Amino acid sequence: MDTSAYILSLADRCVKCGLCLPQCPTYELTANENESPRGRIALIQGWLSGQLSPSRVLTQHLDQCLLCRRCERVCPSQVAYGEIMDQSKVLLAEQTKTRFSFQSLIINSSLKLLLNKKSSNLLFSALRLLQKSGIFVLIKKSGLLKIIGLQHLISYLPDLDKPAKTKNFYPAETRTPERAEQVKVILGETRSGSGVQKIQGNVALFTGCLSQQLEPETINASIKLLNRLGYGVYVPEQQVCCGALHLHDGNKKQAVKFAKTNINIFNKQKNITAVVSLVNGCTSQLREYPQLQISESFTHKVKDIIEFLAEVEWPDDIQFKPLDKKIALQIPCSLQNNLRAENKLMALLQRIPGIKLSPDTVYNNCCGAAGSYFLRFPQLSGQLKNLALDKLKKSDPELIISSNLGCALQLKTGLTRDNSINVIHPISLLEQQLKSN
Ligand code: SF4
Ligand code: SF4
């Protein structure tokens, strides 16, 4: 079956019932059927059956989809909306010439630099220097960034910490029966259970291409927690970007290239029970590598860090300090609609005494970050960010928890004038509250 016929076979499952419409953030903002899942499927059917040409207007309606897959979750016909869109974008990119614009040139070049490990290491080293020396403030004030079209992207750049410098392997923590007894006494433990830490196995960590630069504390916290739970952690240095952004932008060739490199690297880790991924969006892409028609994928071993920690056995003596801060929780679309693991995130957070989660403090609609969407459609993205922050700030939180790097950066940009609220990854919060013993 050729690609067009395959996409049509998936799209034809849609019975046009419209149940997905109230779930769609772009339909909610525009009230335009072409900006809804049902409308986009109809456009794709029209195009692939020859009734519509792949015009600029058609392309724009497809591009403005956030790929949040909220529609997929409620669809009674189980239409594989995400796969339809990914395949359609690849085909559309093959059939149409990209219109040149200064803005797309800047966005594409920036993404190319950021998503390549070598160039992004160099770039972030330079940015760190500029931030430290104070020159960066002067550049921002000079208006130069606006002239060269980088002002919006740079507004997402946080104050940079040192990047995560990882080793190849971090051995699991072990605990002798004697030490276990001492710990029980220290904690005033009366519960049964040996508290003897067993080695549970090894995992390999998929960190995502930007986490080492932008979220080093999450990497360190994940390694620490996994070690504490009895898992040795490999961090393969040669791992590359998962390729999600490239695929969503129609660049299948580059997505396949990255996928093959990652498969080759992680398949070499023979003694691991799981490939644990730190970014929800990357986890979802790693798990969907078979859709790129590559064999020997390690998909069956891929677990998001949230899923992994929620599913494994926890030793009795791991305890957390109570949290005395008001929190709000943002649930990323990739965790909710692709991985369907939001309950696991809640269960994990409930391990921290004092944490209060209620419908008033949880936001599960798209925040507008959506891969490179925040760069390509800043207006729609900004509207969604404001809706998210309005809801999240209602309960007057001191902390907003988000498990996806892109969403966390998006929310942070909206909080720049509100320094009293911090955005934190759930794993960093768990590690922060971990009682040392
Ligand atoms: S809910 Fe599913 S079947 Fe109904 S219109 Fe939306 S995509 Fe089509
Ligand atoms: S993926 Fe999200 S934005 Fe796109 S059609 Fe579905 S609900 Fe709407």
Instruction: Give the pLDDT score at 418.
Output: 67
Angle subtended at Cα 239 by Cα 238 and Cα 242, rounded to the nearest 5 degrees: 155
From CA 293, how far away is CA 64, in angstroms rounded?
26
Single-letter amino acid, residue 49? S
Best of 13, 38, 74 for a ligand 1 pocket test (most atoms within 8 Å of beta carbon): 38
From CA 27, how far away is CA 63, in angstroms rounded?
14
Average pLDDT, the chain: 90
Phi, psi of 49 (to 5 degrees): -100, 10
Check pLDDT > 70 for residue 188: no
Q: Is 336 in the pocket of ligand 2 (CB under 6 A)?
A: no
- The 10s digit of each residue's pLDDT in 39-97 is 999 999 999 999 999 999 999 999 999 999 999 999 999 999 999 999 999 999 888 87
271 and 202 Cβ atoms separated by less than 8 Å? yes
- The 10s digit of each residue's pLDDT in 245-259 is 999 988 999 999 999
Average pLDDT for 170-190: 66
Instruction: Give the pLDDT score at 67.
Output: 96
Average pLDDT for 316-332: 93
**Could you tell me the two tokens for 141?**
């004030």
Pairing of strands 327-330, 362-363: parallel
Residues 6+ apart with CB under 8 A from 310: 341, 344, 345, 347, 348
Single-letter amino acid, residue 176? T
Best of 14, 16, 24 for a ligand 2 pocket test (most atoms within 8 Å of beta carbon): 24
Instruction: Give the pLDDT score at 193.
Output: 47
Distance 15 CA to ligand 1 centre (A): 6
Q: Which residue has the tokens 């067009």?
A: 4
Instruction: Give the pLDDT score at 102.
Output: 78
- The 10s digit of each residue's pLDDT in 258-311 is 999 999 999 998 899 999 999 999 999 999 998 888 877 788 999 999 999 999
Instruction: Give the pLDDT score at 11.
Output: 98
Instruction: Give the pLDDT score at 305.
Output: 97
Check pLDDT > 60 for residue 196: no
- The 10s digit of each residue's pLDDT in 419-432 is 789 999 999 999 99
Phi, psi of 236 (to 5 degrees): -60, 125
Check pLDDT > 70 for residue 25: yes
Instruction: Give the pLDDT score at 187.
Output: 53
Q: Is 37 in the pocket of ligand 2 (CB under 6 A)?
A: yes
Distance 391 CA to ligand 2 centre (A): 20
- Residue bearing the bigger pLDDT, 172 or 417: 172
Query: What kind and span of H or E run contains 304?
Result: strand 302-304
Q: How does residue 136 score in pLDDT terms, banded at 50, 70 and 90?
A: confident
User: What is the pTM (predicted TM-score) of this model?
Assistant: 0.90
Least confident range from 75-89, 164-178, 186-200, 324-338: namely 186-200
From CA 400, how far away is CA 393, in angstroms rounded?
9
**3-state secondary structure (DSSP) of residue 288:** coil
DSSP string covering 7-59, please?
HHHHHTT-----TTGGG-HHHHHH--GGGSHHHHHHHHHHHHTTSS---HHHH
- Nearest residue to 374 (alpha-carbon basis) of 388, 361, 360: 388
Best of 14, 21, 71, 367 for a ligand 2 pocket test (most atoms within 8 Å of beta carbon): 71
Distance 25 CA to ligand 1 centre (A): 15
Average pLDDT for 343-369: 94
Q: Is 40 in the pocket of ligand 2 (CB under 6 A)?
A: yes
From CA 422, how far away is CA 24, in angstroms rounded?
28
From CA 75, how far away is CA 411, in angstroms rounded?
29
Single-letter amino acid, residue 97? K
User: Which residues are 30's β-sheet partners?
Assistant: none
Question: 378 exposed, middle or buried (CB, 10 Å; 0-12, 13-18, 19+)?
Answer: middle
| Alpha-carbon separation of residue 180 from 214, 316, 383 (angstroms) | 37, 10, 53
Q: Is 79 in the pocket of ligand 1 (CB under 6 A)?
A: yes
From CA 165, how far away is CA 213, in angstroms rounded?
10
Average pLDDT for 216-242: 95
**3-state secondary structure (DSSP) of residue 395:** coil
Q: What is the dihedral of CA 308, 314, 317, 321, to 10 degrees?
A: 40
| Alpha-carbon separation of residue 258 from 261, 276, 289, 316 (angstroms) | 5, 18, 10, 40
Looking at the chain, the whole-number percentage of residues with pLDDT higher than 90 is 69
| Alpha-carbon separation of residue 106 from 251, 254, 276, 314, 333 (angstroms) | 17, 19, 33, 47, 27
Distance 329 CA to ligand 2 centre (A): 21
- The 10s digit of each residue's pLDDT in 366-389 is 999 999 999 999 999 999 999 999
**Which atom of ligand 1 sits closest to the CA of residue 19?**
1
Check pLDDT > 50 for residue 348: yes
**Could you tell me the two tokens for 232?**
């040795």
Domains of the chain: 3-95 (1.10.1060.10), 102-154 (no CATH), 169-311 (3.40.50), 327-433 (3.40.50)
Check pLDDT > 80 for residue 10: yes
251 and 205 Cβ atoms separated by less than 8 Å? no
Residues 6+ apart with CB under 8 A from 258: 240, 241, 242, 243, 246
Instruction: Give the pLDDT score at 179.
Output: 59
**Which atom of ligand 1 sits closest to the CA of residue 17?**
4
> 144-165 in b/e burial notation, b at 16+ Cβ within 10 A?
ebeeebbebbeeebeebeebbe
Average pLDDT for 211-229: 94
Instruction: Give the pLDDT score at 425.
Output: 96
